[in-house]
Amino acid sequence: MSMLSRRAFVSGAAAFGAGALLPWARAAHALSQQTRAGKLEARAYFIMHTVVEVVAIGERGSDLVRACEAAAGACRAVELRMNFHDPRSELSRLNEAAGRGEWVEVSDELLVVLEEARRIHIASSGAFDPGTGALVRLYRKTRESGAWPGADEIARARESAGMDSVEIRGRRVRFGNSGMQLDLSGIAKGYAVDRAVAAMRGAGARAGVVNAGGDLFAFGGVADALPRAAIQDPQDAGRVRHELELLEEGLASSGDAEQGVVVAGRFCSHLIDPATGAPARPSLGSASVRAASAMSADAWASALYVRPALAARAPVESLLIGPRGEEVSSARFFSNSPRKG
């Protein structure tokens, strides 16, 4: 899932009982105010090529400022490790060496994401596949240049693709396919949100929300002040389709309304369909997922957008919105029961 494609957002002031639903951006600038749940601090940062919005609730304003800064620091740390497009990142160094068949020792943080990516890759029957980095680069050039790649270029990129070739032994990793490239964009931002929440708790925040371009997690809601999120209409960004109350769970959405482009008369999605090795040709407007972690919600939203039929057996709660506005949701997507995933 790309950095800018998420269609979910969380309301700022309303998130903690401060009145009617308001757009998040109106409350995401630096401020401090009193709410029924305690003091509130809200900050916005530009990290991971998107706006990361943080709201912290607690007793002491100084703790909340530290909590917001800690959240931003956690997101920056993940970006430094897992940025697919930065040649200095740990992920890029892994791609270079492991792509030559070498064993590479990775950090604990990268290992956590790789293991979860492999787990969801298997559970989704390959619909979620971060091993398509070479194809991601190829079709990114297509969107930038306006010219489709040749058959030979596509064949070479497909030959190296596939999460199945990733071997993990302890903390060492290598790729069985020569030249394979891992792109963790569809899971790393969710992981960054989870790390940010952990950092906020450690800094003294009693409740809060982290929203990284639509990948979000809400924690510590109290009484009637549960964080409230909204699902936007995939065809009309100004229209809210649904409002949800969140508690100790993540929410993410995937769609092409903002990222897909038409190249030489053909639609070019920013998402790759692992089954074809080509830009996805989805039948959905968007796929939204609630899960126990933002990382899980992030990855499963990508998988369900590419392959909607998986929703019936996916271990997460989902809402699928079709191109004409039709909806299919899992039994508990609109409930406040604990989520699995």
Quickly list DSSP for 125-174.
Answer: TTSS-GGGHHHHHHHHHHHHHS-PPPHHHHHHHHHH--GGGEEEETTEEE
Please provide the average confidence, as pLDDT, over all residues in the chain. Answer: 83
Task: Evaluate whether residue 277 is within a structural domain.
Answer: no
Residues 145-176: tens digit of each pLDDT: 788 888 888 888 888 889 999 999 999 999 99
Residues above pLDDT 70, as percent of the chain = 82
Q: How sure is the predictor about 24, in pLDDT bands with cuts at 50, 70 and 90?
A: very low
Q: Are 232 and 257 in contact (CB under 8 A)?
A: no
Question: Please, what's the b/e burial string for 319-340 (b: 16 or more CB within 10 A of its CB; e: otherwise)?
Answer: bbbeeeeeeeebeebeeeeebe
Task: Evaluate whether residue 114 is within a structural domain.
Answer: yes
Beta strands 215-219 and 228-233 are unpaired
Q: How sure is the predictor about 21, in pLDDT bands with cuts at 50, 70 and 90?
A: very low
Task: Evaluate whether residue 64 is within a structural domain.
Answer: no
Residues in the chain, overall count: 341
CA 255 – CA 304 distance, rounded (Å):
10
Residues 27-54 have a mean pLDDT of 73
Q: Are 95 and 133 in contact (CB under 8 A)?
A: yes
Task: Evaluate whether residue 43 is within a structural domain.
Answer: no
Residues 197-227: tens digit of each pLDDT: 999 999 999 999 999 998 999 998 654 456 6
More confident residue, 83 or 61: 83
More confident residue, 5 or 177: 177
Q: Locate tokens 């909806």: which residue?
A: 327
Residues 6+ positions from 244 with CB-CB distance below 8 Å: 228, 229, 230, 231, 251, 290, 334
Q: Which CATH number covers residue 168?
A: 1.10.3980.10
Name the domain count of the chain: 1
Which structural domain, as residue segments, surrounds residue 105? 90-180
**Torsions phi, psi for 153 (to 5 deg):** -60, -45
Residues 226-250 have a mean pLDDT of 82
Quickly list DSSP for 291-316.
Answer: ESSHHHHHHHHHHHHH-GGGGGT-SS
More confident residue, 247 or 173: 173
CA 210 – CA 53 distance, rounded (Å):
6
Residues 117-138: tens digit of each pLDDT: 999 999 999 999 999 998 888 8
Of 51-60, 116-125, 226-235, 316-325, least confident by mean pLDDT is: 226-235
Quickly list DSSP for 247-270.
Answer: SSEEEEEEESTTT-EEETTEEE-S
Residues 55-76 have a mean pLDDT of 95
pLDDT of residue 35: 54
Residues 3-29 have a mean pLDDT of 32
Residues 66-80 have a mean pLDDT of 98
Cross-strand partners of 211: 53, 216
Task: Evaluate whether residue 117 is within a structural domain.
Answer: yes
Task: Give whichever of 13-27, 87-101, 221-235 has the largest mean pLDDT.
Answer: 87-101
pLDDT of residue 337: 47
Task: Evaluate whether residue 142 is within a structural domain.
Answer: yes
Output the six-digit token pair for 165. 């070739």
- pLDDT higher than 60, residue 6: no
Task: Evaluate whether residue 106 is within a structural domain.
Answer: yes
- pLDDT higher than 80, residue 263: no
Task: Evaluate whether residue 185 is within a structural domain.
Answer: no
CA 43 – CA 255 distance, rounded (Å):
26
Residues 181-185 have a mean pLDDT of 95
Q: Of 177, 175, 156, which Cα lies nearest the Cα of 166?
A: 175
- pLDDT higher than 70, residue 13: no
Q: Of 333, 231, 335, 227, which Cα lies nearest the Cα of 290?
A: 333
Residues 264-316: tens digit of each pLDDT: 667 767 788 888 877 877 677 889 999 999 999 999 999 999 999 999 999 99
Q: Are 249 and 217 in contact (CB under 8 A)?
A: yes
